């Protein structure tokens, strides 16, 4: 296929006309220089530094994109290089990786290295190596490319065998047959990249993936690492498609026999209801968790190292959606809708609405949950209502009246609140 680098074009996964033209180093370097994220970095580079743009940033650049955050590989002391850049510096893990933020752009920096695995699924043991060895340790051929940013030939492209052919064919291929056994998290990345990029999985790679899953490779990885991959996948632009890809590779079953997204139409309806300030990743994970028994789901999310807020929202949406759907379906007035949804995470309400009462769910998500009173408990105390349950009773009544348009100003709200506060509890 003819290959052409479209400088400045927007990267759109799945573009049929995407192609790659590896021009001479000087011209390729100019394409790198044109990236907004490259300007502050290049201003700090020493001409003799062995620094390379690597990985997905190279892939997306050659596909015509403009990557925002850049991954750098350093042939030498990466920590010293990162510290010398200035900016906000943060060291990460035992592999010596670090992140530097300059002028709002983030640069992940690592020393060129080789990796060995003491056992399948273990974190790798690393040692310094040449750039070509570093590229051969990576996950897929299309991510195993680097462009020199300094040194004797800025703009020089280094790539593993078949990298450019696979990029031009929009194809994902592992670099060696033990790749998924050494690091089974690459299985999740396979599903994620296939979705994001719109790439096909090379047949032998697909067979290796299925064999690795069937052979129990996922079980050799810690829950925290699997959870990290699952969360990244759920944050993809089309997370529904990504979770379907996970299911097609059989990667949902090793997490839990009941885990997996099986109703695409329901997921699409729920996401269409979700408000802009909500978390689509929580919703899609709740959808994928509906087959996990409610008593087992919290333990699963704990094992996957989900944070408390995410865990609570996912459990609520996965286990309470049918109950809330019934309550919303029986709600006729705005105040009844608000009472049914009171305290519910927005992801739960969206999923409940997708199960049937779409109109009620949309009314609460778009409008009712934002309604606030002009009065508060201090106004009732000033009117002589004693502290205690009467305050809450009065405020709830005032809110219901406002939602149902029986109280249209502060005076009417206070009147409704006082009437309910002074009435006998029901």
In tens digits, the chain (426 residues) has pLDDT values of 334 444 333 334 444 444 445 768 888 999 999 999 999 999 888 766 689 999 999 999 999 899 988 999 999 888 888 888 888 877 766 666 889 998 889 999 999 988 888 888 888 888 888 999 999 999 999 999 999 998 888 999 999 999 999 999 999 999 999 999 999 999 999 999 999 999 999 999 999 999 999 999 999 999 999 999 999 999 999 999 999 999 999 999 999 999 999 999 999 999 999 988 899 999 999 999 999 999 999 999 999 999 999 999 999 999 999 999 999 999 999 999 999 999 999 999 999 999 999 999 999 999 999 999 999 999 999 999 999 999 999 999 999 999 999 999 999 999 999 999 999 776
In a domain, 268, yes or no: no
pTM check: above 0.85: yes
In a domain, 134, yes or no: yes
**Both structure tokens of 377:** 């408990």
Q: Distance between CA atoms of 393 and 404, rounded to whole angstroms?
A: 17
Tally of CB atoms within 10 A around 330: 12
CATH of the domain at 160: 3.30.460.10
Residue 226, Cα to own-chain centre: how many angstroms?
13
In a domain, 322, yes or no: no
Question: Regarding beta strands 70-74 and 105-111, do their DSSP bridges make them parallel or antiparallel, or are they unpaired?
Answer: parallel
Residue 64, Cα to own-chain centre: how many angstroms?
23
In a domain, 348, yes or no: no
For 174, which DSSP code?
B
Q: 389 is in which domain, residue-wise?
A: 377-422
Q: What are the Cα distances from residue 372, in Å, to 364, 389, 398, 420?
A: 13, 20, 10, 18
In a domain, 368, yes or no: no
Of 119, 146, 169, which residue is a domain's last? 169
Q: Which residues face 111 on adjacent strands?
A: 74
In a domain, 233, yes or no: no
In a domain, 162, yes or no: yes
Tally of CB atoms within 10 A around 202: 18
Q: Which residues face 98 on adjacent strands?
A: 91, 109
Crossing angle, helix 239-248 and helix 280-288, to 10 degrees? 30
Nearest to 54 by CA among 83, 74, 29: 74
Of 136, 169, 202, which residue is a domain's last? 169
CA quadruple 175, 245, 346, 273: dihedral sign: positive
In a domain, 261, yes or no: no
Q: What are the Cα distances from residue 347, in Å, to 223, 255, 351?
A: 24, 22, 6
Of 149, 169, 189, which residue is a domain's last? 169
Residue 136, Cα to own-chain centre: how many angstroms?
27
Residue entry with tokens 């080789």: 114
Q: How many structural domains compose the chain?
A: 2
Q: Distance between CA atoms of 64 and 31, rounded to whole angstroms?
A: 10
Burial label, 399 (beta-carbon count in 10 A; 0-12, 13-18, 19+): buried
């Amino acid at each position: 296929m003819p290959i052409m680098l479209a400088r400045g074009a927007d990267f759109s996964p799945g573009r049929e006309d995407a192609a790659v033209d590896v021009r001479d180093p000087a011209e390729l370097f100019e394409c790198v220089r044109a990236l907004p994220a490259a300007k502050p970095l290049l201003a700090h580079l020493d001409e003799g530094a062995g620094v390379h743009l690597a990985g997905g940033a190279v892939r997306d650049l050659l596909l015509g994109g403009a990557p925002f955050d850049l991954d750098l590989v350093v042939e030498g002391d990466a920590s010293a290089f990162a510290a010398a850049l200035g900016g906000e510096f943060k060291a990460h893990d035992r592999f010596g990786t670090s992140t530097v933020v300059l002028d709002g752009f983030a640069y992940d920096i690592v020393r060129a290295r080789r990796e060995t695995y003491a056992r399948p699924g273990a974190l790798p043991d690393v040692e310094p190596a040449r750039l070509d060895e570093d590229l051969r340790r990576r996950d897929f051929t299309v991510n195993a490319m680097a462009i020199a940013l300094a040194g004797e030939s800025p703009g020089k492209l280094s790539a593993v065998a078949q990298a450019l052919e696979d990029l031009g064919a929009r194809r994902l291929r592992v670099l060696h047959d033990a790749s998924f056994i050494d690091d089974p998290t690459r299985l999740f990345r396979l599903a994620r990249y296939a979705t994001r990029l719109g790439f096909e999985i090379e047949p032998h790679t697909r067979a290796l993936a299925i064999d690795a899953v069937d052979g129990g490779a996922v079980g050799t990885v810690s829950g925290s690492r699997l959870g990290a991959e699952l969360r990244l996948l759920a944050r993809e632009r089309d997370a529904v498609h990504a979770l379907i890809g996970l299911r097609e590779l059989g990667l949902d079953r090793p997490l839990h026999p009941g885990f997996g997204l099986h109703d695409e139409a329901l997921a699409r309806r729920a996401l269409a209801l979700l408000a802009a300030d909500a978390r689509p990743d929580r919703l899609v994970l709740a959808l994928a968790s509906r087959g996990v028994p409610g008593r087992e789901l919290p333990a699963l999310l704990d094992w996957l190292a989900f944070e408390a807020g995410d865990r609570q929202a996912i459990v609520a949406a996965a286990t309470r959606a049918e109950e809330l759907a019934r309550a919303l379906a029986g709600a006729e007035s705005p105040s009844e809708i608000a009472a049914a949804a009171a305290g519910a995470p927005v992801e739960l309400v969206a999923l409940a609405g997708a199960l049937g009462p779409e109109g009620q769910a949309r009314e609460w998500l778009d409008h009712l949950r934002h309604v606030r009173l002009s009065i508060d408990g201090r106004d009732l105390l000033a009117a002589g209502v004693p502290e205690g349950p009467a305050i809450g009773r009065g405020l709830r009544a005032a809110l219901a009246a406002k939602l149902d348009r029986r109280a249209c100003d502060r005076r009417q709200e206070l009147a409704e609140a006082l009437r309910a506060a002074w009435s006998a509890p029901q």
